[in-house]
Structures are given as C-alpha cells and as structure tokens.
Structure 1
Amino acid sequence: MSEDAPAERVRVWKTPAGVALCAEGDIADPGSRGFVLQIGEAYFHGFVVRKDGEVAGWIDRCPHAGFPLAVELDRYLTPDGSLILCGWHGAVFDPLSGACTGGPCAGGRLTPWLVEASGGVIRTA
C-alpha cells in the first residue's frame, strides 16, 4: 500500500502592498502576532510586533537556522515584551530594528516585512 506524502508548501518572501492584516488594537503594546498569507499557490509567513506605539513587520525566519521563530502561536516576544526571541535557539532581536542582540546569530538581523499602521489598521506596505 502506497501513501502519497503531502505536497510541500511553496514559500514566497514578499507580499503585495495594501493587504489589511488586523486592527492595530488587536496587537498589545508590547505584543506580536503571526500571519500566514496565501499568495496564489504559495504562502508567506511573517509576524508583526507592536512596541512603544510603533509597528514593525518581520519575515518569520531565524537568520541562524532558517526556522520560524515562535514555538507557540503568536509568542514572538520575551515574557517582558522587550525583545523578539527565537524559541528554538535562544537568539534575541530588537523588536523595531530586527538586529540580533544575543545568541547564535549575533551581528545578524531579521529580514524586514514592510507593514504600516494607518487609520487604526495594520496593512502591508
């Protein structure tokens, strides 16, 4: 008996501008939320951080090993909300600049995902 393996999802690394993601108030300050967008037959994986009244978007991929950062859904920040945490290897990143400030990818940075908050809505830019 032969079973077909599930097809691997094709990933893309950019999104079109103007896609509404959520209301700004849906993400705590500080807070984070992950998004998976289907673009044609492919998928984009990213997350948005809200901190000090600003929003920043990041591609959900650790520069150290290429894994998604969160081990649990939407848990991208350290418990005190001060840093982004790679739950797999412990690397930490500044939430607004994406710079790695400690761990196995020191000196590296997250890949930006252009987002903006306007009129109470967070959208792709």
Structure 2
Amino acid sequence: MSQDVATVGRIWETRAGINLGPLDLIADGAARNYVLQIGEARFHGFVVRRGEAVFGYVDRCPHAGLPLAQKLDQYLTPDGGLIACSWHGAVFTVEEGACVGGPCVGARLSPWPVEAREGRIVTA
C-alpha cells in the first residue's frame, strides 16, 4: 500500500504537556502555525487566539487534505471571524472547526487539544 506523498512522515496528534510558547506570541484575533518534530515525524497544526482562549487544529483541510494556509500564519478570513482554506475557499468556525461554507460544508477540522495556562500555550 503506497502512502500519499503529503502524509509521509506526518503524524496527526501530539501528547499533552508540550509548551508551545507564550500566549502573547499570538495577537488576539490572530492565528499561528506550529510544526513540531516528534521523533522521525512532523506534526503540523495551528492555533487561533480569542482573548485568553485558544483553539487548535491539525493543519489539514477535510476537503482536499492540503494545509489550509498558502502564506505563513494566514489562517483567518480578512475580518478574522472564520478560519479559511486558501485553496478552495472553505470556511470554518473558530470555536468548533465546523465547515460553514465552501466545498466541505458539514465536515470539521481535526481538533488539536491546546489550552492557555499561566500565560503559555500548552498541548492538552
């Protein structure tokens, strides 16, 4: 069985307790990309900040399996209200990762459990 080139060396989850850095690394209302080397594999995810709350997702569109952003950290619509896939225009809610427009309505982003704790972002 052959693997899709985009998935070779990729993992889709992380363990709890990984320190991703200070909460202030992400501006309120913005998003940030994270690539974590875990053993021989890499995890690709992103975090969106809303005040003191953070929402993490695996960086993979459920429509085509591609990373959502074509430009580094550009995961949100221009008004910052939704997560957007820059390839085919799918849009997702920040809080739930539910697709509410575009080619994959009804699908969801894969959650990446993260939390803000004592001014830091940590995997949960």
Same fold (TM over 0.5): yes
Determine the C-alpha separation between the residues in 2 that align with 1:44 and 1:52: 25
Alpha carbon RMSD of aligned pairs, Å? 1.1
Deviations 1:86-112 (A, max 9, x none): 000000000111000100000111000
Superposed displacement of residue 53, structure 1: 3.3
Conserved 8 A contact 1:28-1:50: yes
Q: Which is greater in Rg?
A: 1
State the shift of 1:17 in Å: 1.0
Task: Say whether the 8 Å CA contact 2:97–2:111 is kept in structure 1.
Answer: yes
The CA deviation string for residues 63-122 of structure 1, in whole angstroms up to 9 with x for no partner, is 000000001000000111100000000000001110001000001110000101000000
Q: Distance in 2 between matches of 1:108 and 1:95?
A: 14
Size of the aligned set, in residue pairs, is: 118
Look up the SS of the partner of 1:113 in the other structure.
coil
Give the equivalent residue in structure 1 for 2:99.
100
Identical residues among aligned pairs (%): 61
> Partner residue of 1:114?
113
* TM-score with structure 2 setting the length: 0.91
TM-score, normalised to structure 1's length?
A: 0.91
Determine if contact 1:51/1:96 at 8 Å carries over to the other structure: no
User: For residue 23 of structure 2, what is the amino acid of its counterpart?
Assistant: E
Unaligned stretches of 5+ residues in structure 2: 1-6
Match of residue 69 from structure 2: 70
Provide structure 1 residue ranges, at least 5 long, that are not aligned to the other structure: 1-7
